[in-house]
């Protein structure tokens, strides 16, 4: 998919939606400096282009009982495409793995795992993660405290709200 050109109005719309995805179209149009109909057309264009990939609620991990976050570093024995694909197919359906990334450097993948407690993390490590196909090494880093957590992208200045 090709990159879409984003103007200052698009960036204001995106910044506002990142801040509050439930904002009304009327309020969003005011922030963007448009009337509601052209604003809605821009939103649809951004959705169709895949710039807006979806909408979701941001949940509090503590209040949902998922208070433990662990970063799991994984190295594979073999990095050929077939082995990597098997690894992807095995990791993707694990609900406790909320994000995972391919890396450069010492480890091949970094998984962000969210669980309620040590017992569940131990079960996950022994029952699923330790048995992932092609895994050579696993290292875990437990998060003690989170100081910043956002899914908002750092848009260019035209998209940032003052205050």
pLDDT in tens, 100-152: 999 999 999 999 999 999 999 999 999 999 999 999 999 999 999 999 999 89
Model pLDDT, residue 3: 83
If asked whether residues 86 and 53 sit together in one domain, one would say no
Name residue, tokens 């990142």: 18
Q: Does 162 reside within a domain?
A: no
pLDDT tens by residue, 26-40: 999 999 999 999 999
State the CATH number of the domain containing residue 110: 3.30.70.920
Domain membership of residue 163 (yes or no) is no
- Residue 158: predicted pLDDT: 59
Residue 118 within a domain: yes
- What is the pLDDT at residue 9? 96
In the chain, alpha helices (H): 8-19, 25-32, 36-48, 81-91, 118-127
Residue in the block written with tokens 């951004």: 46
Residue 72 and residue 128: Cα distance in Å, rounded?
Answer: 13
CATH number, domain of 15, equals: 1.10.10.10
Share of the chain above pLDDT 70, in %: 95
For residue 120, give its domain range: 68-142
**45-67 residues labelled b (16+ CB within 10 A) or e (exposed):** ebeeeebbeeeeeeeeeeeeebe
Total of domains in the chain = 2
pLDDT band for position 163 (cuts 50, 70, 90): very low
Same domain flag for 72 and 136: yes
Q: Is it the case that residue 162 has pLDDT exceeding 90?
A: no
Give the pLDDT band (50/70/90) at residue 89.
Answer: very high
Distance CA 150, CA 39 (A): 25
């Amino acid at each position: 998919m090709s990159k879409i050109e984003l103007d200052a109005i698009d960036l204001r719309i995106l910044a506002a939606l990142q801040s509050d995805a439930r904002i009304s179209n009327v309020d969003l149009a005011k922030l963007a400096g448009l009337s509601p109909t052209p604003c809605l057309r821009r939103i649809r264009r951004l959705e169709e282009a895949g710039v807006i990939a979806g909408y979701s609620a941001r949940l509090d991990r503590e209040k949902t009982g998922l208070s433990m976050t662990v970063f799991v570093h994984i190295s594979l024995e073999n990095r050929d495409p077939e082995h990597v694909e098997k690894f992807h197919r095995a990791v993707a359906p694990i609900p406790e793995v909320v994000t995972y990334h391919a890396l450069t450097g010492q480890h091949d993948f970094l998984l962000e795992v969210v669980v309620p407690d040590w017992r569940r993390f131990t079960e996950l490590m022994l029952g699923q993660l330790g048995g992932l196909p092609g895994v050579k090494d696993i290292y875990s880093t437990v998060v003690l405290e989170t100081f910043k957590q956002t899914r908002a992208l750092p848009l260019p200045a035209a998209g940032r709200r003052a205050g």
